[in-house]
Structure 1
């Protein structure tokens, strides 16, 4: 999956593709998911600075844009952070609003199963390589550090996860590296604090289930950042 910030040549089409992916994902969900997708799309369209990869807007302004109160804004922004779609760059303080960035790898991973609803052309563009002629000044997301090959029990657990959810495995589980293990505990290292937080929040239950299925004696699985 080629993940680049949509700036330079072809940026407009790339932005539409990302927004289309969010919309298709939201519409396939329940009313809560649909409303959250619509709010995020509106916020991105109205206030996201693609060139700086930044959303810097106060809760009061978001509340006015969404026609809700600030308590709802706080809850919905927290939900977007929990999904991993928004990353907090700078906490708001007196005289300054909070600053967020879009986590495109997380958004594309979460929405991938719904790209086909838009069309095969969207799937080809979002999953394929950067087209020839694309501006070479596009700034890619930082590549993860080289991944050490998994071995032993963790390798088997990782393989089970990949068989169930290959896209999530490639984005979030494969980069985890085994740090230590004993008779009843596995400790994994994530490439960043955010990565570890996302795995603990969204994938730990699945990992623990697969861990128990593969190694019944293991009672605990820990994720720590580098």
Structure 2
């Protein structure tokens, strides 16, 4: 499943598809899910920059939009981060609010169970690769298969990462090993310092979100190099 970037001539349709999936996913759940999804839809429709994938908003403003207190905002945003739907792109600084980014592909993966409810055309559209905007044919590399060796936490995390993006997993995540997990902190070992630093900077939020689905007690990741 691919999610095209919601820009260009097909942008309105892609945005409607994403919002439709979120809405129907909410209505298929209990009142708690409905409230959570309604809150993220409110952020998307009022403050989200689709082109840059940026949500620039402070906790106080979120509380005002949601008609809640800031403690509820903190708890709800932490929940969305643990789901892998949202990540901090740039933390808040003096005189500047935090900037978040949305993982639209993870959102669509998590709502895929309701695609048939919307319609067979929607399911087919979401399941197909988007047509490229140019006449250049991309070269696709067959992703490496994932072969679980046990049912441990790290194996389950790896399975989530592979299902989310097989190509990315094959390039980066499959080379990691879990060296230690204690006190809510996980130490991951990479083959080189470059790989450890790059994954820490670029993909730590996705890794932490995957851990959150298996072991919610994990709150922080450390990256070390085997060299």
TM-score after normalising by structure 2:
0.69
> Helix, strand or coil for the counterpart of 2:94?
coil
Q: Which has the larger displacement, 190-199 or 64-73?
A: 190-199
> Helix, strand or coil for the counterpart of 2:93?
coil
Shift of the 167–199 alpha-carbon distance from structure 1 to 2, 3 Å rule, reads: closer
- Unaligned stretches of 5+ residues in structure 2: 179-187, 191-195
Equivalent in the alignment of 2:174? 177
| Pairs within 5 Å for 1:38-57 | 38-57=38-57
- Tell whether 2:80 aligns with 1:80: yes
Q: Which has the larger displacement, 119-128 or 10-19?
A: 119-128
- Tell whether 2:213 aligns with 1:202: yes
Q: Which has the larger displacement, 169-178 or 43-52?
A: 169-178
Equivalent in the alignment of 2:70? 70
Shift of the 169–223 alpha-carbon distance from structure 1 to 2, 3 Å rule, reads: farther
Equivalent in the alignment of 1:26? 26
Take 1:97 and 1:34, find their aligned partners in 2: how far apart are those partners?
A: 27
| Pairs within 5 Å for 1:1-226 | 1-131=1-131, 135-136=133-134, 148-150=144-146, 154-155=148-149, 170-171=163-164, 175=169, 176-177=173-174, 192-204=203-215
Shift of the 15–53 alpha-carbon distance from structure 1 to 2, 3 Å rule, reads: same
Take 1:225 and 1:119, find their aligned partners in 2: how far apart are those partners?
A: 47
> Helix, strand or coil for the counterpart of 1:89?
strand
Contact 1:56 1:99 in 2 (8 A): yes
TM-score after normalising by structure 1:
0.70
Shift of the 44–54 alpha-carbon distance from structure 1 to 2, 3 Å rule, reads: same
Q: What are the superposed Cα offsets for residues 158-212 of structure 1, whole Å, 9 maximum, x if unpaired?
A: 9xx99xxx9885216892526569xxxxx8879632232122110359xxxxxxx
Take 1:110 and 1:90, find their aligned partners in 2: how far apart are those partners?
A: 25
Contact 2:63 2:73 in 1 (8 A): yes
Compute the displacement of 1:157 (Å): 5.5
Compute the displacement of 1:50 (Å): 0.6
Q: How many residues align?
A: 191
